[in-house]
Amino acid sequence: MAEHPPWLRFQAYVVGLPKTGSTSMATLFGNYRTGHEWQLMELLGPAMARRRGEVDDEEFLRSTGHRFVPPSLEMDSTTSHHLYADLLSRTFPHAVFFHTVRDVRSWVTSLLDMSLRKRLGRKLLGLGFSPVEIEYVASRTEGAYDVDRDDREDDRAALPPLMRSWAGHLREMAATLPPARTMRLRTRDIPRLLPEIAAHVGVPVSTLRADLSHANRAPHRFDRFAAFDGDELRAAYDVHCADLMADLFPEEHAAFVSRAPGGDGASLDWAAYVESVRAYATDAVARYGPSATR
């Protein structure tokens, strides 16, 4: 394997989707040159243009300045990296990758919970979403999720496209990332697999910040898979997700396929959930200002 640059002790990239442990991975490597979401917005625009075929690899790298070449981080945990993981792999034959994954139900739930918190917080501040943010959300939801939606309108339409997006991402990463240099890591296993994580980059496990290995826990949850259960949701799971879930998350897969039709969705109150998140967002904005909406 080629050697990483001499000014780096190792070179690693987290290439999971948003809400799969990027914060945890960055804080875990807090004793090293680590970045979390460094220049995310500056990367998303060129990355989306590359995905659309409007710029080639060289143009993409030029448009990001010195963000990648020369590399300056040892642990680079940024949630746009999955969009150009193939290019990172070719450009840096010495780099290693962590593909962080969550089961489809918890990932969809966490992503939509975060989206609501951000939307309510930005409304309080009078801030909107950038065009590149809107494009990225649309790409993940097949245009089914409106970032400026009425708060009284639930987000059930986004569930099937997000399930397809989750499955497509896992299949793409399996076909793209070099197996010998990639560790696929279930987010919930991060605290348990510290020795393996350290070995993957070649550092002593004692140097990892184990006390911070599960950072960024979310405060609110709404079980959309119970509240919005139906034929379309189940079909999306069966066609796109079932085989991946059975392989990677067998316990969650068994629970999903064995649940009763309709679940306990009748007991879930969307309006009450929105109000609880609004109260949280109001407090967060009062404490932290615009940074609370990132």
Q: pTM for this one?
A: 0.93
Q: What is the 3-state secondary structure (H, E, C) of 144-157?
A: CCCCCCCCCCCCHH
Query: Could you tell me whether strands 182-186 and 34-36 are parallel, antiparallel, or unpaired per DSSP bridges?
Result: unpaired
195, pLDDT greater than 60:
yes
pLDDT at 141: 95
Among residues 149, 166, 293, the alpha carbon closest in space to that of 239 is found at 166
Q: How far is CA 69 from the centre of its chain?
A: 24
**Are residues 99 and 185 in contact, defined by beta-carbon separation less than 8 angstroms?**
yes
List the beta bridge partners of residue 184.
99
Digit-coded pLDDT (tens) for 56-94: 999 999 999 999 999 999 999 999 999 999 999 999 999
285 contacts 293 by C-beta, under 8 angstroms: yes
Q: Model confidence over 246-257: pLDDT tens digits?
A: 999 999 999 999
pLDDT confidence of residue 4 = 77
Neighbouring residues of 174: CB distance < 8 A, sequence distance ≥ 6: none
Write out pLDDT tens, residues 55-66: 999 999 999 999
For the cut 80, the answer to whether the pLDDT of residue 191 exceeds it is: yes
Residue 13's DSSP bridge partners are: 76, 97
Maximum CA pair distance of the chain? 59
Gap between the Cα atoms of 57 and 87, Å rounded: 7
- Determine the average pLDDT of the residues in 114-142: 92
Enclosing H/E stretch for 21: none
Partnered with residue 12 across adjacent β-strands are 75, 96
Closest by Cα among 232, 13, 233, 278 to 109: 233
State both tokens at 267. Answer: 């007991």
Distance CA 252, CA 41 (A): 33
Separation CA 266–CA 264 (nearest Å): 5
Predicted pLDDT at 217:
60
- Does the pLDDT value for residue 5 go beyond 90? no
The two structure tokens encoding residue 134: 């809107």
> How many CB atoms neighbour CB 92 within 10 A?
20
Backbone angles phi, psi at 64, to 5 degrees: -95, 10
Q: Provide the mean pLDDT of the chain.
A: 92
Domain boundaries in the chain? Answer: 12-102+177-212, 104-165+219-293
Q: pLDDT tens digit string along 224-237?
A: 999 999 999 999 99
